[in-house]
Amino acid sequence: MKTLNTYILMAFLVISGKSLAQQTPAGKQTEAVTIVGATAHLGNGEVIENSLVIFENGKLIEVIAANLTKRQYPGKIIDAKGKHVYPGFIAPNSTLGLVEIAAVKATQDEDEMGEMLPNIRSLIAYNAESKIVESMRPNGVLLGQIVPRGGRISGTSSIVQFDAWNWEDAVVKEDDGLHINWPDTYKRGSKWRGEDPNLKPNKSYVENVQELSDFFASAKAYLDGDRDYKNLPYLAMETVFGGEKKVFVHANEEKAILDAIQFKKDQNLPHMVIVGGYYSTGVAEALKNNNIPVLVGRPHSVPEEAHEDYDYSYKLAGKLYEEGVLVAIEGSGQMERMNSRNLPFYAGTAAAFGMDKEDALKLITLNTAKILGIDENYGSLEKGKSATLFISEGDALDMRGNILSHAYIDGREISLETHQTELWKRYSKKYKDQSGKEEIPTDSESSP
């Protein structure tokens, strides 16, 4: 009986492992790849209609018009006539890999207890084998900024690529930024406590901002002193004051944004980014003058107030862009991990509501790379940069055209299969026979 139970347990573990495992990460690029004839959207606003894109050893070595050269093409040749080439899309302010199943607490690792937590690092909690992370790739989302949540200072984010065995292999930029949840200037009362649910001024606002100022002052005093004891939160602030880490301030209201700008000046912070910025158009000039970019919330959201235009969120990124603010799109909010795969369609919505299509593309490519500080290698198709790109059958900002045939991260051709694509193929085959006869998938086709 004991032996039988052992076999049953082993079989269960094998089946579970098969259903939970991610695609095996791709190996290093071993030969040059030449993509011929595609329309290349460079991510910097430029388009090459009949392009020649060549990359080797993970780097782009040629991005030119195909009719400018008649030499023999090196390595593997991909005929992409009628298709489109894009730089890999980048998802900022994401919790991908930190939560797998929202209803199962054991799979949640996005938050820690406490309020001032600059020493908390999202990178070491990142699950590179997440099935949700895997599902980003078929839509062209190949990199992301992994951000902790909760507290007044949530912790430190890092930037990863989405095809790796573990967080060590995944990391693109380690500990890139500190994340602060700025106090709300207005709050709604809790109806469960019998409070007025309407918006009213936050009586603790000034006190909450002062707490932040006090923490920064204490950290500076500690770092300038003898450091006769180890204080991990204060030690983590050293790279913030030195400029190695950017400060991402999550704020939406005009007053909150203006106060954050003043906070930047008071604390002499080299780099600050506003995240969310729902009402940032009213302070666009101040943002521009202080060289502060904005990661606007996802356009696929309803207006927050009844008097606002229905398309307010759709146009927000475009309005900031017109004002000269460096802007990109982030996707936090309800069901944010699953919805991160819709990042290209967020940019497509911005294009549909006023932005030039190539300018909208920048919202998820080069602009994002600049804001995150990785534009030297990522965000656009330019000679010398990482060969992180994909080929799409059509317009990648439109869900009807976003059909990938090839995708590469640092020159490595990655799998576009996921748990979802395998299930789609399985049940498509089941119902394909119009005669009514049910087709039985093979073992390889039926294995999730």
Here the tokens at position 352 are: 């549909």
* Residue found under tokens 């030449």: 34
Q: What is the DSSP letter of 334?
A: T
Percent of the chain with pLDDT over 90: 72
pLDDT 10s digits, 83-102? 999 999 999 999 999 988 88
51-60, 187-196, 253-262, 429-438, range with the lowest pLDDT? 429-438
Distance CA 389, CA 40 (A): 10
Q: Which CATH number fits domain 2-86: 3.30.420.10, 1.10.540.10, 1.20.1260.10, 2.30.40.10?
A: 2.30.40.10
The predicted model gives 21-28 an average pLDDT of 79
* Residue found under tokens 């040629």: 62
Q: What is the largest CA-CA distance in the chain?
A: 81
Q: Hey, which residues does 412 pair with through a beta bridge?
A: 409
Phi-psi category of residue 43: left, alpha or beta, with phi > 0 → left and psi -120 to 50 → alpha:
left
The H or E element containing residue 337 is helix 336-339
Look at residue 9 in the predicted model and tell me its pLDDT.
45
Spans of all domains in the chain: 2-86, 89-378
Q: Beta-carbon neighbour count of residue 74 at 10 Å?
A: 14
Instruction: Decide if 2-86 and 89-378 have a common fold.
Output: no
Q: Using only the alpha carbons of the chain, give its radius of gyration.
A: 24
Assess contact for 295 and 92: CB atoms under 8 A: yes
The dihedral over CA atoms of 308, 311, 312, 315, expressed in degrees to the nearest 10, equals -160
Residue 188 corresponds to which amino acid?
A: R
Look at residue 69 in the predicted model and tell me its pLDDT.
63
* Residue found under tokens 């991908």: 96
Assess contact for 215 and 153: CB atoms under 8 A: yes
21-35, 56-70, 104-118, 396-410: which has the highest mean pLDDT?
396-410
Rounded to two decimals, what is the model's pTM?
0.89
CA–chain centroid gap for 443, Å, is 35
- Helical residues (DSSP H) of 156-250, grouped into ranges: 167-170, 205-224, 232-236, 238-241
* Residue found under tokens 């207890």: 113
Secondary structure (3-state) at 196: coil
Comparing CA positions, the residue from 399, 299, 301, 305 lying closest to residue 353 is 299
Sheet holding 59-65, edge to edge: 59-65, 51-56, 33-36, 76-79
Q: What is the DSSP letter of 65?
A: E
Look at residue 434 in the predicted model and tell me its pLDDT.
53
Which are the contacts of 96, defined by CB distance < 8 A and separation ≥ 6? 130, 132, 133, 136, 144, 146, 162, 337, 340
Mean pLDDT of the chain: 89
26-30, 233-237, 399-403, 443-447, range with the lowest pLDDT? 443-447
Sheet holding 412-413, edge to edge: 47-48, 39-41, 84-87, 389-392, 404-409, 412-413
Measured in degrees and rounded to the nearest 5, phi and psi for residue 109 equal -145, 40
In this predicted structure, the answer to whether residue 424 has a pLDDT above a threshold of 50 is yes
13-22, 194-203, 354-363, 405-414, range with the lowest pLDDT? 13-22
Distance CA 86, CA 63 (A): 12
User: Do β-strands 59-65 and 84-87 pair in parallel, antiparallel, or remain unpaired?
Assistant: unpaired
In this predicted structure, the answer to whether residue 446 has a pLDDT above a threshold of 50 is no
Look at residue 19 in the predicted model and tell me its pLDDT.
45
Look at residue 369 in the predicted model and tell me its pLDDT.
98
Percent of the chain with pLDDT over 70: 91
Look at residue 197 in the predicted model and tell me its pLDDT.
78
Distance CA 394, CA 392 (A): 5
269-273, 360-364, 438-442, range with the lowest pLDDT? 438-442
Q: What's the CATH class of domain 89-378?
A: alpha beta
